[in-house]
A = this chain, B = another copy of it.
């Protein structure tokens, strides 16, 4: 990794055209070729070029191009700082994805949603995308469940689209919708209720706990 601080002007031509007037900035060139230009505010770089790309370093000017017709030009007027250090490979990030895990947990504990509910299929396909959980309720009716970390308006819209298509399948119809999330926002509640869609908040920890309880039985 090469790290420098320099007074520079930057130009990008590609998916759009952008220009950065002269100022002092942090420039990082990573081992994989990625180039980042950062100012002293905000998490996002002002400008960048991801790998794969080709860097030509000339007298005070870097020209970075990338096969897709994009081009980043850095004019380095004054370099205040320039160092190189080998970081080695990164073991990478471990993260607990919430939505998928929540979907998996729910699929195995549908009774936590409604007494007597059973799973027809996870990721049930429709022409406008897959329904997270397609279920049968205690009365034999079909229920489309959309799982989100946060239940917002677009979750209700998504479920509405699925229902529109599912209800044309006379083997399934009538299908009702159920939005499940750790938090369901007030606007989403209102819209869901207005459309006859159910909503339910679930506690992740509780479900995870329920699972470890089940495991403990064996």
A residues neighboring B (CB under 8 Å): 1, 3, 5, 15-26, 28, 30-32, 34, 36, 38-43, 45-48, 50-51, 80-81, 83, 85-98, 127-129, 149, 153, 157, 161, 164, 187, 190-191, 194
Q: Are A81 and B83 in contact (CB under 8 A)?
A: yes
Q: Which residues of B contact A25 (CB under 8 A)?
A: 87, 90
A21-B95 Cα distance, complex, nearest whole Å: 12
Q: Are B23 and A91 in contact (CB under 8 A)?
A: yes
Q: Are B87 and A23 in contact (CB under 8 A)?
A: yes
Q: Which residues of B contact A19 (CB under 8 A)?
A: 93-95
* Residue in B24, B34, B91, B194 whose CB lies within 8 Å of A41: B34
Interface of A is mostly: mixed
A86-B32 Cα distance, complex, nearest whole Å: 28
- 19 CB contacts below 8 A, A to B, read A1-B40, A5-B85, A19-B93, A19-B95, A20-B91, A23-B88, A23-B89, A26-B28, A26-B87, A28-B38, A30-B42, A34-B41, A39-B87, A46-B90, A81-B83, A127-B187, A127-B190, A128-B187, A128-B190
Q: Are A191 and B24 in contact (CB under 8 A)?
A: no
Q: Are B18 and A94 in contact (CB under 8 A)?
A: yes
A94-B45 Cα distance, complex, nearest whole Å: 14
Known: A22-B91, A128-B190. 15 other contacts (CB 8 A): A3-B5, A15-B98, A17-B96, A23-B89, A26-B28, A26-B87, A32-B41, A32-B42, A34-B42, A36-B43, A40-B89, A46-B90, A47-B93, A81-B85, A127-B187
Given contacts A16-B96, A161-B191, contact A90 B40 (CB under 8 A): yes
A23 to chain B, nearest CB (A): 5
Q: Are B24 and A97 in contact (CB under 8 A)?
A: no
A142 to chain B, nearest CB (A): 20
Given contacts A80-B85, A128-B191, contact A90 B30 (CB under 8 A): no
A40-B43 Cα distance, complex, nearest whole Å: 17
